[in-house]
Structure 1
Amino acid sequence: GVSVQTETVLRQALAERVQLTLIINKIDRCILEQQLEPEELYQKLSSIVARCNALIATYRNIDDGIYSDDHFNPKIGNVAIASGKHGWAFTLPQFATIIAEKTKVLKEKLIDRLWGESFYSSVNRKWFPYDQINSYDDAKRGFNQFILQPIYQMLNACSNLNIDEIRTLLDKVDVRLSADKLDTNSHDAKTIMSNVMKRWLPAGEAMLHLIVLHLPSPIQAQTYRIQHLYEGPQDDQAACAMKTCDPNSEVMIYISKKIPAQDGSRFVCFGRIFSGTITTGSNVRILGPNYQPGSPNDVQVRNVTSVGVMVGDRCIPMASVPAGNVVALNGIDKCLLKTATVTTFDNAHNFRVMKFSVSPVVRVAVDVRDPTDYAKLADGLKKLAQADSLVQVLNENKQHVIAAAGELHLEICLAELEKVHARCPLKVATPIVTYRETVTCGSYQTAFTKTTNKHNKFFMRASPLQPELVEAIESGRITAKQDPKERSAILVNEFGWDPISTKKIWCFGPEHDGPNILVDSTKGVDGLINIQDAVIAGFQWASEEGVLAQETLRGVRIDLLDAEI
């Protein structure tokens, strides 16, 4: 169903103006494990679609014109129902096409009847609305009769290893499957189920329908998304080239992740080309997160040794790849930690750093089963941290700890660590959930401290930040690198800050981009510049490890009220 994490991801997509399609996964579990009746399953699916539409209606920007209140609609085909584990999926128009070929009924008429309050009587061979349902003893909802019933029959036949029934059902849907795929001596029920369903309703075909028919091309999307992705002026050369997805301009690429090569010795840098055409042998500038145009700091020039496109887990070499495509680059992986801007423009700004709407809150300690594999684990953890932008790898109390966004994310990370990165058996401790420390009201008295030599005194006060402001910081709308005038205008107009305070923000924390703020509220104190770095370092430490339980702070404003230096 729609979880808190689903809502969070939807909100982030809406904020970044990402066009959306919906895939409802794990449908096989509803049928085989939960044993839902077809009508119960339909109601569950309908509820999920309605809930997602309600979230869009709640959080969308009406002025965007990208989303409607009923954005997700199975009838138009932007909703897929799937079993990712077994590799099958379908959309309503796909099924309508199959049925139309069999029944010689117009596909358009069928689509309208295969979702919603349309019912069918097999005895009378008649369609009718819900208010006439009591007139027909064999009345079944169209979706249940023509879509769910065949799927239920096929899954049950596979679960029971009834090969004769499977062949009969496959003949009815004109699907041919080789005998070795149904061999019960070499395959268990789950494998046979996967073989059958992937052949009948391949997930790749449903995904292709969603992408081609319901998602915008890069030429369309970049016209309105660049303003949310690019840190620089919207009228500079790089921005203009990206907005038109110009393949003949200079190159602008955002590397979003690093994928381990098949030999495990290096990484392939994976990203999207927003402008230009990247070729093998190109010299590119790799901009780090702290790069400022015109500065020699945090920028490296490297040669791209090869260019390719990813097909599954394979990289297919290409001579060149133009704007609008995703690309795999070799030869630059050692120049970036996780993400980076790659360009041939001389004065381009960075892409905005990806801000995740979920934080790594589930932690687990990992260790090797064989002590001789310790070096493999250490190396594997480094590779995992580079391959996954969200995961955090920590060393706490002499233990290796992995922090992930949720149980599913953690499960994926552990599987990749064991099978791909470390390649050794692991011991995994019980997962624990991390927390955040905060304050709920302003300090009732001023906090006072002094240095060991008693020559310096500091007076501070803590107060809570508004939840909306915390959200704006975490989403990247307000940042430390932002133009001070722009940041000041937002804080004053939207959050009621005093204009003077907005100009005296020393830093955000932790890591200079967290949802806590240190403000200089002193008046007429001499020598502050001499101790500013030390105070900032102390704030970063305190926001990383709170005083209550050594957990990270969230939503706290610290004001330096006075100092005696």
Structure 2
Amino acid sequence: MTTVHKISALQKNVKNIRNICILAHVDHGKTTLSDSLLASNGIISERLAGKVRYLDSREDEQERGITMESSGISLSFQVISNILNSETQKAELKREDYLINLIDSPGHIDFSSEVSIASRLCDGALVLVDVVEGICTQTHTVLRQAWDENIRCIIVFNKIDRLITELKLTATEAYIHIRNILEQINAIMGSFYAGGVMEEDNLKRENKNNTNEENEESEWDEEKEKEIFFSPEKGNVIFASAIDGWAFRIDSFAKIYAKKLGIKEALLKKCLWGDYYLDPKTKKVIGYKHLKGRNLKPMFVQFILDNIWTIFEAVENNDKEKVDKIVKSLNLKILPRDLKSKDIRAVQSTICSTWLPLAQTVLYSIIEQLPSPLEAQKIRLPKLLYPQNIDNVPDQELTENQKKLENALYECDSSEDAPVIVILSKMVDVKPEDLPTNRRVQLTAEEMRENRRRLLEQRKLQLEGQISSQSSGAVPISEVQTLISTENSNSKSEEEKKKKEGTLIGFARIFSGTIHEGQTVYVMGPKYDPMDPTKFCTQVKVENLYLIMGKELETLSSVPAGNVFGIGGLNEAVLKSATISTLTECPSLVNVNMKAPPIVRVAVEPYDPSDMPKLVEGLKLLNQADSCVEVLIQETGEHVIVTAGELHLERCLKDLREKYAKIGLHASDPIVPYRETLSNQPAINTNPFQEYSDDEEENDDDDNDENEKAEKTKTKKDNLPIGTKIVNTSKNMCTIRIRAVPLPEKVTKFLVDQSETIKKIVEHYDNRRKNIASNDEALDEQKEIKDKNERQKFLDELQKLFDEASESSTNIIDSNRQFWKNIVSKIWSFGSKRIGPNILVNNIPDYERIPWCSTSNNDKIEKNSQDIVSVRDFEGSINSGFQIATNSGPLCAEPMMGVCYILENFDINIDINQENNDALSMSTLSGQVISTIKEGCHRTFLEWSPRLSLATYSCEIQATAEVLGKIYGVLSKRHARIYEEDLKEGTQFFQIKSLLPVIESFGFADEIRKRTSGAASPQLLFHGYIVLDQDPFWVPNTEEELEDLGEKADKENVAKKYMDSVRKRKGLFVDKKIVEHGEKQRTLKSK
């Protein structure tokens, strides 16, 4: 049994520490494997391994049978080895204890942020693969995550028993099947390596162009490439059945057969995997070429798999003599009652787990294959410290403190002089009863006697005090008892109230130094910059340190470098994650990449309005404890939570009701985002919304009817191109001509992908303007040059895509192809929110303005533009109108995507500077320009045939042929588009891939499971936005359409259904027929 004192002692020996996580697709056996490892330390019974799911501490985790939160535990393992004594020249046994900090992570895609957290804290990983299902979506994702974090992995082929019991494969067929899966894994790893080399070459080439220095291309290191591959002879592949508790590597069989075959163990280890065969005549190992047509089995099959298959077949055939012979030949100590069991699976499990114990094989592999913190930090931390540099080295010379910090990190220095550096990856909610301070402690006999004596003295003093204060002699015993019971109840109620208050502790790992209870440290957020230590940095005192043992916690006084632990007292200083250090020079190390961005929104409100403060506090705790959830307050005052998917949403609402807010909640229907975009066809209905015509009529009444009519007449006469409108402000003070055109598809995709780059450029531009305004020229020149190069690189790539579009354009605006060629220099702004995939272009004649986000001096432009200086005064208003329009489109007030607005003219019809003018003031006119630009953008948008872009999931389902028809029925009902269907080689499973609208995904997983009786379960990963190629305003027009569909168009317009549902939710006008006279006989009949 592992004790706290033992683990605390092991924490000080950093060479014998292994920090590992278990990664896999959902239901591939992670938690079951964890149970077997826990059983080896006596934490749970071996018979309960795989059933108790110890690390799934949440109630809903146990109910659903899946892991939702990462949880950690510390294990010890003793390795016994033979060493030669140099003095006596005799072999002696050496016992060495190792500490293994194990983190079990979820496999469901909704909780992929938990995988990112686990991988950041660990140096190694066990990647489980179900040999029946093979490589799945999350398998590829976790391999990528491990690659990005520089984590060394061990592949565990789990559920080997299913190849025998379910697929009924022979040993040879099973070998071929496993080999194919291993080849797929190595192909994935090879693609990661090749992609990394090519990316490095591109970055070096760009640096060469920017600095005019000669850089050699990265060499293809074949030796390094071989290191990343998995192969059983290397020892980094395990074959297991976690539910049955057995596993093996080829090393253990190599030791057995080396003596029998007279072959060296090292040579036999290389030959037990692959196309190697044993010649029965010569007793030599031969390759595939020397078979000469003989039907020999590979050595892996002959010496390993055949033995396992023999055990399963003997037990299944109830051949007791053969079973007894196998047990005796393997020298296994198994009770006769276990062998006589009528449960075939139990007998198979007992024999195999006794012969090939899983925990021993896995733990030994971890110690042998995965690095200690001392070895791993030298490899992993350069990428964390300098992620922006190609070679992961600093740009400039380091200060003394920075050098000290870097050396301490690389050496995993746990001395008292070393700076403390901790990565806190997430905050974990802990039940009050699980805290060590609230745990009931068994008192000794002496302590109980002392408590009794103290209680009697207190009662005696209370009685004496009451007797002396009263004139009547005696005090009734009942009053004394009432007084004592009241005081006891008050003290108990205070304790109970304190226990009910939960707490958040940090799940962290220390990389350098030794952290102590009560120590003062700096807590730095993800946005912390050592150049400005006053921002995003808080000084706090460490209240508690904990050893994490699943849901149980044990108190520690200090934690040395290289360990995973819990830290308390940081509730007010940490939002989701942080870096903790004793030096302010330490950079932020917690930029975790989220593979599944939150997409599903829900508005929440309490049943009782007086509980609103509790809801706000509960949302704050939820935001801290969940690394993926986002909590927002909308302009309307609604509290909104944004989650990664339906399952994540259910968990968040459950936590809010039961743990954080502890109140009754009402949640709205899921709010799914849409995007509004344009097609290359003209609009079918030029005035789809009556509200626009109503607005025009109101303007006619308020302003000048004759001017509006003149404008409309002029518009018709000028025959403006499609998507062009001329709009006027109130009283025709300003006339604006604006045009909308759809952006090329590749440009839109590029802008969506580069949103973070655009955001960085805009932030740099804003900071630069602030510095210029405050006359602060103390700027980092290197950073300035780097930001300038990044902006130029972005614009060059954007112009390249526009040039390609102008050459291959086949849409309506072909006549204006040349316009795309010079568009980048005319970009005014991006929208919405200045970073979106929409562009505002300046094409006003004789009007020159500063290029987008340019920090160059604009004196020259000012001098050349004195005649139209008044237009420059409205730049902010024009941009604001564009931002508002693109943030809330005309279809259903959702953001636009892929629209280019061209400002072609801006005329000012009065002299604003003239005194005593009847015109409105400058500020009022600026507001009118904003609303006019917004209205013009919406009108030009509706000149085209608009489209809705749907948020979509990439849906992957594995199922047998029997339930394929039912799956297709559900997918068709929910408007999914199937793009791939394939039979997985060597299995009976079909793999179906489709694109499913997020709005149709709610209840989808449950419906699939119900229709297939649990035989299929979908995996949903956010894919992006896909245009729904259907006009929301479409009605039958042609003779054929009228003949087929009739005037009512009985065919459902899906785009209009989605659009109307959003408009109705937002309280906008909905074009819907309403029964006017419901009491009429004709109306009643139709009902």
Give the TM-score normalised by the residue count of structure 1: 0.69
State the AA in 2 paired with 1:252: I
Partner of residue 106 from structure 1, selected from 244, 249, 264: 264
1:49 and 2:182 correspond: yes
1:24 maps to amino acid: F
Contact kept in structure 2, 1:285 and 1:302, CA below 8 Å: yes
Identify the residue that residue 10 of structure 1 maps to in structure 2: 143
* Equivalent residue letter for 2:302: Q
2:420·2:580 contact (CA, 8 Å) conserved in 1? Answer: yes
Contact 2:422-2:510 at 8 Å conserved across structures: yes
| Aligned equivalent of 2:230 | 72
Task: Establish whether residue 355 from structure 1 lines up as the match of residue 593 from structure 2.
Answer: yes
Which residue number corresponds to residue 228 of structure 1?
Answer: 383
Match of 1:141 in 2: 298
Q: 2:796 aligns with which of 487, 496, 510?
A: 496
Q: Does the CA contact (< 8 Å) of 2:521 and 2:581 recur in 1?
A: yes
1:246 to 413, 426, 434: 413
Q: 1:167-206 counterparts in 2 under 5 A?
A: 169-177=326-334, 184=341, 197-206=352-361
Count of matched residue positions in the alignment of Structure 1 and Structure 2: 531
Structure 2 residue aligned with 1:91, among 249, 259, 264?
249
Instruction: State the 1:75 CA deviation.
Output: 0.9
- The aligned amino acid for 2:565 is V
User: Which residue, 553, 561, 573 being the options, matches 1:323?
Assistant: 561
The answer to whether the 8 A contact 1:231-1:352 is kept is no
Inter-CA distance 133–355: structure 2 relative to 1 (3 Å threshold): same
Aligned to 2:426: 257
Looking at structure 1, the residues matched to 413 and 535 of structure 2 have their Cα atoms a distance apart, in angstroms, of 28
1:112–1:164 CA distance, 2 compared to 1 (3 A) = same
Deviation at 1:142, TM superposition (A): 1.0
Match of 1:367 in 2: none
How much does 1:337 deviate? 4.0
Give SS of 2:644's match: strand
User: Is 1:271 equivalent to 2:508 in the alignment?
Assistant: yes
Find the aligned partners of 1:180 and 1:412 in 2 and give their Cα distance: 46
Contact 2:533 2:584 in 1 (8 A): no
**Matching residue of 2:1014:** none
> Which has the higher mean CA deviation after the structures are superposed, 211-220 or 445-454?
445-454
State how far apart, in whole Å, the 2-side matches of 1:505 and 1:224 are. Answer: 44
Alignment-derived partner of residue 517 in structure 2:
280
1:403 aligns with 2:560: no
Q: Give the Cα–Cα distance (whole angstroms) in 2 for the partners of residues 240 and 393 of structure 1.
A: 39
- Secondary structure of 1:36's counterpart equals coil
**1:245 partner letter:** C
2:522 is paired with a residue whose SS is: strand
Alpha-carbon contact 2:544-2:569 (below 8 Å) kept: yes
Give the match's secondary structure for 1:115. Answer: coil
CA shift, 1:342, in A, is 2.0
Q: Secondary structure at the match of 2:190?
A: helix
1:257 Cα deviation from its structure 2 partner: 3.2
| Deviations 1:488-533, CA, capped at 9 Å, x for gaps | 534644783479979x9989999x9xx9567776636446568978
2:155 alignment partner in structure 1:
22
- Which residue does 2:916 correspond to in 1? none
CA distance in structure 1 between the partners assigned to 2:536 and 2:760 by the alignment: 22
CA distance 1:135–1:520, shift in 2 (3 Å):
closer
Contact 1:28 1:83 in 2 (8 A): yes
How far 1:548 sits from its partner (Å)?
A: 8.7
Return 5+ residue gaps in structure 2 as ranges.
1-133, 198-217, 388-392, 435-501, 603-614, 661-669, 683-721, 765-782, 800-822, 843-848, 851-871, 907-928, 931-1087
Distance 1:356 1:102 in 2: 52
Contact 1:253–1:273 (8 Å) recurs in 2: yes
The residue correspondences of 1:140-539 to structure 2 (distance < 5 A) are 140-155=297-312, 169-177=326-334, 184=341, 197-230=352-385, 234=394, 235=398, 237=402, 238-247=405-414, 248-261=417-430, 263=433, 265-293=502-530, 294=532, 296-311=534-549, 314-333=552-571, 335-359=573-597, 389-390=627-628, 403-404=644-645, 463=743, 464-465=746-747, 486=786, 489-490=789-790, 492-493=792-793, 496-497=796-797, 523=849, 525-526=872-873
- Return the alpha-carbon distance in structure 1 between the equivalents of residues 345 and 506 of structure 2: 35
**Maintained 8 Å contact 1:121/1:127:** yes
Whether 1:116 aligns to 2:254 is no
TM-score by length of structure 2 reads 0.40
What's the % identity of the aligned pairs? 26
The one-character-per-residue Cα deviations of 1:303-335 (angstroms, maximum 9, x if unpaired) are 323334445555454432222332322332564
Distance 1:440 1:101 in 2: 75
Distance 1:211 1:104 in 2: 29
What RMSD in Å do the two structures reach over aligned CA positions? 5.8
Specify the alignment match of 1:427 in structure 2: none
The range that moved more, 295-304 or 385-394, is 385-394
Distance, in Å, in 2 between the alignment partners of 1:251 and 1:145 is: 54
Please name the residue that 1:82 is paired with: 240
Q: Could you tell me how far apart the structure 1 residues matched to 2:326 and 2:288 are?
A: 30
Deviation, 1:284, is: 2.6
